[in-house]
Amino acid sequence: MREIVLDTETTGFEPEQGDRIVEIGCVELLNHMPTGRTYHQYINPERAMPDEALQVHGLGDDFLRDKPVFAKIGQEFLDFIGDARLVIHNASFDMKFLNAELSWMKLPTIPMNQALDTLAIARKRFPGSPASLDALCRRFNIDNTSRTLHGALLDSEILAEVYLELIGGRQPDFALATDQSQTSTTGPDVTWRATPRPKALPPRLTADEIAAHEAFLDKLGDEPLWRKEN
């Protein structure tokens, strides 16, 4: 199963009020595992950057002036994502902007049911707890110290790790072989690999559960298989 973890940066909150996308970042997963294939593009929004947005992502007018407009990269972006499921934190926000940009360019829009909202998953799994990307990084001990400003590709890389934890950790199926010829990027040459967890998660078994397991093994004789393996 192919999935695309996606994030955008914008000039504001409402495309219908003139706000535009200024950055798209994507990380490809295959069977819930990162392939190393990414898509990353800065975009000229063809308007001035509001100071409030600049404080969030740091992408100013001078930096974006020579970047391509969305019309130049829209089809390239669609070709990269294809019909893969899109994994997005607060999906309604990014999908609103993507479909506005695509519709303005007379390109096919993306069905809302193609997107999976990790914010909704986090709120359902941890009701009443903070569900921001930073809060989930703290919960899962994921290193996000490089996230001093929002960035679409960096946030997609971090979200990919968060998503894998939300669905139960990295558990690929038995089809471990991947086609290495598919690791080229569609946008600039950026590759990503999951980094080792800086701090192991705490054990989930209680002392009583461990004691009960040991008592069960005692009943199996002198050399039960589980003790040989451990």
Q: Kindly state the DSSP code that residue 1 receives in the 8-state scheme.
A: -
190 Cβ partners below 8 Å, 6+ apart? 38, 40, 153
Homologous superfamily (CATH) of 2-194 is Ribonuclease H-like superfamily/Ribonuclease H (3.30.420.10)
Per-residue pLDDT averaged across 135-151, rounded? Answer: 86
Provide the residue ranges of all domains of the chain, joining segments of one domain with +: 2-194
Catalytic residue (one of 32, 40, 57, 150): 150
- pLDDT confidence of residue 205: 67
Mean pLDDT of 31-55: 96
The interaxial angle of helices 70-81 and 91-104, nearest 10 deg, is 120
pTM of the model: 0.73
Cβ atoms of residues 5 and 26 within 8 Å? yes
**pLDDT tens digits, residue range 200-212?**
656 666 777 777 7
Is residue 7 packed enough to be buried (19+ CB in 10 Å), middle (13-18) or exposed (0-12)? buried
Over residues 19-38, mean pLDDT: 97
Q: pLDDT tens-digit profile of 174-191?
A: 333 344 444 444 454 444
Q: Could you tell me which of 19, 13, 68, 66 has the C-alpha nearest to residue 41?
A: 68
Q: Average pLDDT over the chain, rounded to whole?
A: 86
- Rounded to an integer, the average pLDDT of 127-136 is 96
Q: Identify whether 40 is a catalytic site residue.
A: no
Distance, CA of 84 to CA of 29 (rounded, Å): 10
pLDDT for 214 equals 77
pLDDT higher than threshold 80 for residue 152:
yes
Spatial contact of 100 and 51, defined as CB atoms under 8 Å apart = no
> Stretch 51-66: mean pLDDT, rounded?
96
pLDDT band at 168 (very low <50, low <70, confident <90, very high): confident
- Model confidence at 173, pLDDT cuts 50, 70, 90, reads very low
Dist CA 157 CA 67 (whole Å): 22
Check: CB of residue 15 under 8 Å from CB of residue 97. Answer: yes
CA–CA separation, 142 and 173 (whole Å): 23
**H or E, element range at 100:** helix 91-104
CA atoms of 75 and 46, how far apart (whole Å): 18
